[in-house]
Amino acid sequence: MREDFDYDDDFASNDFDDEEEDDDFGMTFEEDLYLMIREKLRDTIQQFKGKYPAAMKKLESAVSSFKVNVKNTDDAKFYPLAAKLLSEHIKPLAQEYEEVQEIYDNMQSDITRFKNQRAHGFEGDLYLSE
């Protein structure tokens, strides 16, 4: 059960030598997928801050201020809900910025994987996979 997820705390340091090392160890599919979505957002923001400063600054602010507090919920329900709420949280920016709209649309393909684990997630320019 996960009651709080704080973007800054969980992604503040990325000093892993081997990111693949502990990928699935002790993590549910839902938690792993949610963390991957958050990581893709973080990497995309960092990669494109210089190219789209206004859009990425607002997106970064929205993502870093996003918090979920759901009590008594197991991972299978918490992480899909958190992903959906994060998506809804950034949707207003998608209407304001074309780049955020593309990120939002691409993020939806990863969110569908909560229901269909065999679905392919999105890997592309404005939603990074690495």
Task: Give the tens place of pLDDT for each residue, 11-39.
Answer: 554 444 444 444 556 889 999 999 999 99
Question: Is 21 within a domain?
Answer: no
Q: Count the domains in the chain.
A: 1
Question: Is 9 within a domain?
Answer: no
Q: What is the pLDDT of residue 123?
A: 64
Q: Which domain holds residue 67?
A: 27-130
pLDDT of 9 over the 50 cut: yes
* Confidence bin at 125 (pLDDT 50/70/90): low
* pTM for the model: 0.73
Cα angle: 122, vertex 82, 46; to 5 degrees: 50
Distance, in Å, from the CA atom of 55 to the CA atom of 32, rounded to the nearest integer, reads 27
Question: Is 1 within a domain?
Answer: no
Question: Is 14 within a domain?
Answer: no
Question: Is 109 within a domain?
Answer: yes
- What is the torsion angle, in degrees rounded to the nearest 10, for the CA atoms of residue 126, residue 101, residue 107 and residue 37? 70
Question: Is 11 within a domain?
Answer: no
- List the alpha helices (DSSP H) in 1-120: 7-11, 29-48, 53-65, 75-96, 98-111
| Overall average pLDDT of the 55-83 stretch | 92
Q: What is the pLDDT of residue 54?
A: 96
pLDDT of 108 over the 60 cut: yes
Would residue 73 be called left, alpha or beta, if left means φ above 0 and alpha means ψ between -120 and 50 degrees?
A: beta
Q: What is the pLDDT of residue 3?
A: 54
Question: Is 77 within a domain?
Answer: yes
Question: Is 93 within a domain?
Answer: yes
